[in-house]
């Protein structure tokens, strides 16, 4: 399947997912959290082509996406998972309440990364060059070094350009569970406090976008039925 067909298929999956939510019969807190997940999905979908280099980068839209995700993450998310709200049309696993601290930490990590995307948005697809303006006797155009072709875990080799290997399906866990769990390894270590929070303002937007995706995949792979 060509990359164009894969992109169309990915969008079809998410359009269908939105339809399921709209007609699932969910009410109350379950419907609220489903709507929050759809809002985050839409925010990611809106900027994914920019991160893949498939459309012009728009810092304002990337920052807007970060704010939209942050608004539904952290305590805003965990507050919509009260005890006893599994079952029925909900996709939430009982593991959420059995591992509440880990779930809460992942939700907070997502909020932190989303706010970090707002800070990184002005940097575009390349991290700022810390040596810019310094007299080095040579080119200072090395800010892209080490960031070309970043992909999500398990992706095929990327096309040229930062973030070229992303797909919305991978970012929100619509992929084989094995990949989601692989993506979650680094994310979970950060969630439990063993990793140092990055300086988001020094990162390229796709670097932060990738962290958001890893956190989403980790959470879905662990706590969402059918991931």
pTM of the model: 0.66
**Inside any domain, residue 217:** yes
- Label residue 127 by pLDDT band (50, 70, 90): confident
More confident residue, 132 or 215: 215
The answer on pLDDT for 57 being more than 70 is yes
At 22, which CATH number?
1.20.120.10
Give the residue-averaged pLDDT of 175-201.
Answer: 47
**Inside any domain, residue 134:** no
Give the residue-averaged pLDDT of 21-49.
Answer: 86
Per the structure, the count of domains in the chain is 1
pLDDT at 129: 74
- Label residue 197 by pLDDT band (50, 70, 90): low
**Inside any domain, residue 19:** yes
pLDDT at 88: 84
The answer on pLDDT for 204 being more than 80 is yes
Short-list 125, 191, 134, 199, CA closest to 164: 125
**Inside any domain, residue 197:** yes
**Inside any domain, residue 73:** yes
The answer on pLDDT for 67 being more than 70 is yes
Residue 153 phi, psi (nearest 5): -55, 135
| Domain limits for position 23 | 3-124+147-223
More confident residue, 180 or 209: 209
DSSP secondary structure of the chain: --HHHHHHHHHHHHHHHHHHHHTS---HHHHHHHHHHHHHHHHHHHHHHHHTTSS---HHHHHHHHHHHHHTSHHHHHTT--TT--STT--B-THHHHTHHHHHHHHHHHHHHHHHHHHHGGGTTS---TTTTS--SS----TTTTTTT---TTPPPPPSSTTTT--HHHHTT-S-HHHHHHHHHHHHHHHTT-SPPP-GGGS-HHHHHHHHHHHHHHHHHHHBTT-
Most confident of 16-25, 55-64, 157-166, 190-199: 55-64
The string of pLDDT tens digits covering residues 88-105 is 888 899 999 999 999 999
* 14, 137, 178, 196 from 17: Cα distances, Å: 5, 55, 21, 35
- Label residue 1 by pLDDT band (50, 70, 90): low
Q: What's the chain's average pLDDT?
A: 72
The answer on pLDDT for 203 being more than 70 is yes
**Inside any domain, residue 137:** no
**Inside any domain, residue 50:** yes
**Inside any domain, residue 140:** no
pLDDT at 226: 75
């Amino acid at each position: 399947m060509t990359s164009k067909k894969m992109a169309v298929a990915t969008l079809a999956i998410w359009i269908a997912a939105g339809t399921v939510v709209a007609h699932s019969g969910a009410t109350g807190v379950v419907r609220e959290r489903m709507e929050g997940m759809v809002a985050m999905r839409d925010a990611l979908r809106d900027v994914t082509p920019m991160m893949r280099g498939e459309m012009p980068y728009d810092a304002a839209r990337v920052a807007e996406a970060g704010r939209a995700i942050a608004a539904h993450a952290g305590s805003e998310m965990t507050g919509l998972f009260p005890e006893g709200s599994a079952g029925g049309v909900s996709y939430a696993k009982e593991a959420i309440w059995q591992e509440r601290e880990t779930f809460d930490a992942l939700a907070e990590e997502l909020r932190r990364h989303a706010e970090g995307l707002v800070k990184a948005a002005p940097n575009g697809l390349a991290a700022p060059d810390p040596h810019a303006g310094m007299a080095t006797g040579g080119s200072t155009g090395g800010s892209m070094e080490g960031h070309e072709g970043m992909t999500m875990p398990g992706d095929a080799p990327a096309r040229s350009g930062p973030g070229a290997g992303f797909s919305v399906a991978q970012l929100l866990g619509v992929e084989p569970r094995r990949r989601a769990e692989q993506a979650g390894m680094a994310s979970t270590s950060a969630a439990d406090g063993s990793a140092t929070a990055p300086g988001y303002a020094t990162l390229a937007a796709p670097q932060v976008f990738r962290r958001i995706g890893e956190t989403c995949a980790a959470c879905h792979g662990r706590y969402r039925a059918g991931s």
